[in-house]
Amino acid sequence: MAQSKSPPVVVHLSAAERASRGRAARKAVPRASQGAWDPPATRADPTSLLAAQETTRVPELVPIRHERMLSSPFAFYRGAAVIMAADLAPTSRSGLLVQCCGDAHLANFGGFSAPDRQVVFDINDFDETSRGPFEWDVKRLAASFEIAARSRGFTTKRSSSMALNVVRSYRQSMLQFAAMSNLDVWYTRLDVAEAMQRWSGQLSAKDRARVERNIAKGAGKDSLRAFDRLTMQVDGQVQIVNDPPLVVRVDDLALGVDPAEVKQWIHERFREYRRSLQPDRRHLLEGYELVDVARKVVGVGSVGTRCWIVLLQGKDDGDPLFLQVKEAEASVLEPHAGKSDYASHGQRVVEGQRLLQSASDILLGWFRATSPDGVERDYYVRQLWDGKISADLEGMSAEVMRAYAEMCGWTLARGHARSGDRIAIAAYLGTGDTFDRALDDFAVAYAEQNERDYDTVNTSLATPAPTG
C-alpha cells in the first residue's frame, strides 16, 4: 500500500524575524522600483496571448468574447489578465508570496450574502487564483482604477488619485492587520452596512441614494429572482428560458451527441460534485432534485469557457436553487509563478477562494470529468445568484470611486493577510508613501500600455486573415 505524504514541517518565526524578512525584501527590491514599467523588446504579442487562450474555448462563443473585450479599453483590461501576467513575470519580485486573486481588478469586488445571511463586501472572482508575489495583485488593482477613471472621463489628477487611494488603503490596512492576532485577522470581514457607515461620509446625498439603490437591487438577487427571470412553464414542466447564444438549454445545443447522454453525464458529474462538499452541506444539497440545465455565457475574458447553469427544485416550485458550473483552466499566473499544488483546477479555485474570502458560499465545490466530447476538464460549482451586488461603474462619481478604491484596498489586504505573511509584507510596505507613489506611477504607465494593446488587438481582429 502506498504511503501517504507526511504534512510539511511548519517553521514558526518570531514577529521580529518576520519583520526582518520584510525589510530584507525592501533592500533586495526597493519599493520605488515597483513603479517601473518599460516593456521589453521581447514582450509577447497581446493578440497571440489571447488567441492561445481561445484554442480551448467553445469556438462559436469566441466572437462574443471579442465583442465584449473590445467595447472599451476598460473592458479589454478586464479580459486581459493573461497579458498582464506575462508583463509582470519579468519584473522584480519582492519574494513575499500570498494567495493571489490573479485578476484583482475593481469589477471583481462586490457584495454577496454570507452564510449567516448578512451582506458582505469581498473579492468575488477566483478563476485565476494561485500563489504569487503580493504586489502583482496590488498592481492589477491599482491599474484598474486608473483605467476605469479614464473611462469615466475624470481629470488626470482625479484619475491618478484613484490608484493612489487604493494602494494607500492597502498599505495602511496591512499595517493594521500585522498588529492583530491570527484569529482576529481570520474573523475580520467587511459588512456592506458597515462599509456604508464607514465611507458614506465622503459622499453627497445623491451619491448615497444611488449606492443604496444599487445595494438593495443586488441584495434581492437570489434563486427565487433567478427562477422568476430565467424559467418558464412548458407543458406543465419548469424549464430554463432559451436566450441564444447567451443562454441555451442542453436540449437545444448542437453538441454532436444525444442530449439525453449529456443530461446523464451531468447527473453523474453532479454526484461527484456533491462528494467535494462537507457532509452537512451534502445533506442539504441532496434535498434538491435536478430539473434543467443550460449553457450560459458569463463574464468578459472567460467567455468561451464551458459554463452551465443548473436548476434544482427543493420541496416544491417555490423552493428553487440555481447553481453555476464553470470550467476551470490553469491560472494565468502559473506559467510565471509556478504550478498549482492542486491536481484539479476546480479545487485550486475553491481552495483559493476559501483562503481569500471572509465567508464563502456553502455550496462551493468542484469536480473533474471527461466530457461527452472525450476531453477531460475541471469545473467548480457555486450558487448562481446569492445577493450579488456589483459596482455601478457606469454611473460612479469620482467621490464614490474614491471610497470604493479604499474598500477594495482594505479587502485585498485582508485576503493577503490571511494567506501570506502579513508582518513581513507590512514591514516591506512601511509607514511612508514610497510604495503608494511607485504603484501610482505604475498604474499610469500600464493604463497607457493597456490602451496601446487595446488598439493593437482591435486592429488585428478587424483585419481579415490572409488567405492561401
Residue 381, strand partner residues: 325, 365
* pLDDT, mean over the chain: 91
Residue 31 pLDDT level (bands cut at 50, 70, 90): very high
Strand 130-133 relative to strand 237-240: parallel, antiparallel, unpaired? unpaired
Q: What is the mean pLDDT of residues 411-433?
A: 98
367 or 343: which carries more pLDDT confidence? 367
Residue 466 pLDDT level (bands cut at 50, 70, 90): very low
Q: What is the pLDDT of residue 463?
A: 58
Phi, psi of 240 (to 5 degrees): -70, 140
Sketch the domain layout of the chain as residue ranges.
15-219+392-461, 223-383
Q: What percent of the chain has pLDDT over 90?
A: 71
Q: What is the pLDDT of residue 2?
A: 44
Say if CB 167 and CB 429 are below 8 A apart: no
DSSP string, 101-150: -S---GGGEEEEE-TTS-EEEEE---TT-EEEEHHHHHHHHHHHHHHHHH
Q: Which of 104-118, 146-160, 180-194, 350-364 has the lowest mean pLDDT?
A: 146-160
Q: Report residue 91 CA to chain centroid gap.
A: 23
Q: Which residues, in sequence order, are CB contacts of 32 under 8 Å at separation 6+? A: 434, 437, 438
Q: What is the mean pLDDT of residues 68-95?
A: 96
Angle at 308 between CA 306 and CA 312, to 5 degrees: 160
Would the pLDDT of 464 be above 70? no
Would the pLDDT of 338 be above 90? yes
Q: Beta-strand (E) ranges in 171-283?
A: 190-191, 231-234, 237-240, 247-249
Residue 374 pLDDT level (bands cut at 50, 70, 90): confident
Residue 126: closest CA among 377, 380, 432: 380
Determine the Cα–Cα distance for residues 123 and 408; give it in Å rounded to an integer. Answer: 8
Question: 83 exposed, middle or buried (CB, 10 Å; 0-12, 13-18, 19+)?
Answer: buried
Tens digits of per-residue pLDDT, 292-307?
999 999 989 899 999 9
